[in-house]
Amino acid sequence: MRKMKKTHITETLDDRIFACVASFLMFLLLIICVYPLYFVVIASFSRPEMVSTGRVILFPRGFTTIGYDKIFQDSMIFRGFLNSAFYTVAGTLINLIVTLPAAYALSRKDLVGRNPIMIFFIVTMYFNGGMIPTYLLIQNLGLYNNPIVLLVCTALVVYNMIIARTFFENTIPYEMLEAAKIDGCSNTRFFCTIVLPLSKTMIAVIALYYGVQHWNSYMNALLYIDDQEWKPLQLILRELLISTNAMSSMLQGSESAEEQQNLTSIMQYGIIVVSTLPMMIVFPFVQKYFVKGVMIGAVKG
């Protein structure tokens, strides 16, 4: 049997230069993306006057937690955390319960009216009733100032459903369903016991999309929630920042006005950290599913 010769790829000088330039550019891009986030964190722990005079660059200057002290002095902050956690967890569960069955049904080629139904969903991605008609509808349904409105208004995002539908079409062969039916398996049992376990990666990605959406959402709460007890963290932080800015304007012209303005700036950095930290903690646990889930749910071709 003739032995196959091993081929060695010789790296030329041009290849090395290209690799060095590409690595440098990627490192530069990393710095450009990461440094603003890093600056927000170190600025939130620095003295206000140090930040306003531009002396905070790489490390905190005059380490202090005054910004966080002012933020957490508001008794509604903890309540806002609990509300946002509830909306995120409950809302994501509702999203998955609505999105996954809809996506699977639309992935089945034997579904009657599949294409017209899909067109109906796609139209809603580009057109809606508008803010005022939606507000009147929510009011007439008795959902105004009801926390349920923050869960049902975004129960389905069509883009996420399309990702899930594409995944089901490309990953779950119809022959598998036929084999299961021969063994007496119903459609519901097939979906729950076979389709969902095979779709853990995609489900993790969709759950991450929905979770981030719920955690960062404040517009629906601003429109439909008036009770302070049910407002999410994002809205409470917004109101806290507005009240601090208003106090700064009232003191304009006095020596304390500059101090209040600097404190407002520090609180802005602290609010950014407080509002994004929970999602930054959760993201590493689902990161391994992220790229794979997006790619296998993408349109092939």
Query: 201: domain CATH number?
Result: 1.10.3720.10
Do 153 and 21 sit in the same domain of this protein?
A: no
Residue 184 located in a structural domain: yes
Residue 127 located in a structural domain: yes
**Interatomic CA distance for residues 135 and 153, integer angstroms:** 11
Residue 266 located in a structural domain: yes
Of the given ranges (63-72, 86-95, 113-122, 159-168), which has the lowest mean pLDDT? 63-72
Instruction: Identify the domain boundary among 45, 65, 85.
Output: 65
Do 123 and 236 sit in the same domain of this protein?
A: yes
pLDDT bracket for residue 92 (50, 70, 90) = very high
Do 165 and 43 sit in the same domain of this protein?
A: no
| pLDDT at res. 66 | 81
| pLDDT at res. 290 | 64
**Interatomic CA distance for residues 211 and 89, integer angstroms:** 7
Do 148 and 197 sit in the same domain of this protein?
A: yes
Which H helix or E strand runs over 211?
helix 200-216
Calculate the alpha carbon distances from 225 to 90, 136, 145, 239 in Å.
Answer: 17, 14, 4, 13
| pLDDT at res. 295 | 58
Do 37 and 157 sit in the same domain of this protein?
A: no
Residue 3 located in a structural domain: no
| pLDDT at res. 101 | 93
Residue 4 located in a structural domain: no
Do 41 and 93 sit in the same domain of this protein?
A: no
**Interatomic CA distance for residues 184 and 180, integer angstroms:** 7
Do 23 and 140 sit in the same domain of this protein?
A: no
Determine the average pLDDT of the residues in 141-156: 89
Boundaries of domain holding 274 = 75-296
pLDDT bracket for residue 262 (50, 70, 90) = confident
How many domains, in total, are found in the chain? 2
| pLDDT at res. 56 | 82
Residue 61 located in a structural domain: yes
Residue 122 located in a structural domain: yes
Do 49 and 125 sit in the same domain of this protein?
A: no
Do 37 and 118 sit in the same domain of this protein?
A: no
pLDDT bracket for residue 301 (50, 70, 90) = very low
Do 208 and 88 sit in the same domain of this protein?
A: yes
- If you average pLDDT over every residue of the chain, what do you get? 82
Do 274 and 217 sit in the same domain of this protein?
A: yes
Cβ(215)–Cβ(278) under 8 Å? yes
pLDDT in tens, 173-186: 888 888 888 888 88
What is the percent of the chain where pLDDT is above 90?
A: 14
Calculate the alpha carbon distances from 238 to 6, 107, 235 in Å.
Answer: 65, 41, 5
pLDDT of residue 240 exceeding 80, the answer is: no
Which residue matches tokens 């306003």?
52
Do 109 and 181 sit in the same domain of this protein?
A: yes
- Position with higher pLDDT, 293 vs 187: 187
pLDDT in tens, 213-234: 898 888 888 889 888 888 888 8
